[in-house]
Amino acid sequence: MPKYYGYYVIKFNRPIGRVYHDDGRISENVVYAEIGRNSDGTIKYAYPIVEPKINYK
């Protein structure tokens, strides 16, 4: 897992949690996590996501 400042999307090769959607659905066994790190390398936030959003330029 990266230990540098910034935003990361990490794919784990195993289920890591559930995502609760606004409409009441629950996605189980998700394998991606969104992680944000502070400038000193500590974790600011981390939570499971259904799949990463890809930004096309």
For 1-57, write each residue's pLDDT tens digit.
Answer: 667 788 899 999 999 999 999 999 999 999 999 999 998 889 999 999 998 876 544
Predicted local distance difference test score (pLDDT) of residue 57: 43
- 35 close to 1: Cβ distance less than 8 angstroms: yes
Listed in sequence order, the residues at least 6 apart from 56 whose beta carbon sits closer than 8 Å to its beta carbon are none
Predicted local distance difference test score (pLDDT) of residue 56: 41
Domain boundaries, the chain: 6-49
DSSP state of 54: P
Predicted local distance difference test score (pLDDT) of residue 25: 95
Radius of gyration over every alpha carbon of the chain, rounded to an integer in angstroms? 13
pTM more than 0.85: no
